[in-house]
Amino acid sequence: MAIFVDENTKVVVVGLTGTQGSYYGLLNRSYGTQVVAGVNPKKVGTDVQGIPIRASVADAVAQDGANAAFIIVPASVAGDAILEAAAGGVPFIVCVTEHITMHRQAEVFNTLKRDYPNTRLLGPNCSGILSAGKCNIGFTPTNVAMPGSVGIVSRSGTLAYQSIFELTQKGIGQTTCVGIGGDPVPGTSFIDCLRAFQADPETKGIIMIGEIGGSQEEEAAEFIKSNVTKPVVAYIAGVTAPPGRKMGHAGAIISGSKGTAKAKMEALSAVGVRVAQNPTQLGDLMAEALASV
């Protein structure tokens, strides 16, 4: 199985007529993802290599059966696009757009929670989601992935890609790789993904990749302690980051003693998670964890 998306997912790409949207939308389609429509109200009646352009996500839902939206538009309009997709009736939205202001992210998050509680947002500023051999929405490279039994959830897209590579090198395939993004107000959390992986019978082990800043990893550790019986391997990026300086992602900032890599690693180790000292260890530690099950 897979979590959130699979071979039956039908994707509408908001931004398909743009340079980046067409590139990644068509790349996702080439993997086998069902990209059924694009959205641009000014180009209704046209197509992008056979993919019809609709006036709205609601039209793509009604006419093409879309049940997921891939949003790849500028930050100035991305918040509106997310809410329009939710109003259009898709239950799963992936937004890869970066530089959405924290205030706007909070507005969108709370509007979704209040008005569209059955809609899941992945992102913003995330790498997307890959269910190996079934569906890819976003940026995750597919040439290093193979179907298998390990789920991955990561704040960092690049480290998610490396973890896929490390696993594949060991002959260990993946169920789903979820890039939740590194912004301060993520639509989907570590806990959301851990819960889904725990419930998925085909996922036998979980890799969790965090980074400095915030308290998501510590909260995930508490969740793992009480709710996750499958082996978890983790890596926390930013061990050498100085306090008070933003490192890459908008959410990756240490405040005093809070949000440090050391604190996160200790919290995870305390609940039985195998914690890697560098990302190249992820494959080895997962192989060991699966062998001990």
* pLDDT of 243 above 70: no
Percent of the chain with pLDDT over 90: 87
Provide the pLDDT confidence category of residue 241 given band limits of 50, 70 and 90: low
Per domain, the residue ranges of the chain are 10-122, 128-291
Average pLDDT, the chain: 93
**What's the whole-model pTM score?**
0.93
113 or 256, higher pLDDT: 113
CA distance 267 to 273: 9
Do 10-122 and 128-291 share a fold? yes
N-terminal to C-terminal alpha carbon distance within the chain? 19
Question: Max CA-CA distance within the chain?
Answer: 57
CB 153 within 8 A of CB 178: yes
- The position carrying tokens 């039994």 is 149
Could you report the per-residue pLDDT of 65-112, keeping only the tens digit for each?
Answer: 999 999 999 999 999 999 999 999 999 999 999 999 999 999 999 999
In this predicted structure, the answer to whether residue 256 has a pLDDT above a threshold of 60 is: no
Catalytic residues: 249
Domain 10-122: CATH superfamily, name plus number: NAD(P)-binding Rossmann-like Domain (3.40.50.720)
Output the pLDDT for position 89.
98
pLDDT at 232: 98
Residue 19 CA: distances (Å) to CA of 10, 74, 99: 21, 12, 18
Tokens 């500023």 — which residue? 125
pLDDT at 217: 94
pLDDT for residue 240: 52
d(CA 286, CA 80): 40
Dihedral sign from CA coordinates of 159, 74, 255, 180: negative
Output phi, psi for 268, to 5 deg.
-70, -45
pLDDT in tens, 126-147: 999 999 999 999 999 999 999 9
Fold of the CATH domain 128-291:
Rossmann fold (3.40.50)
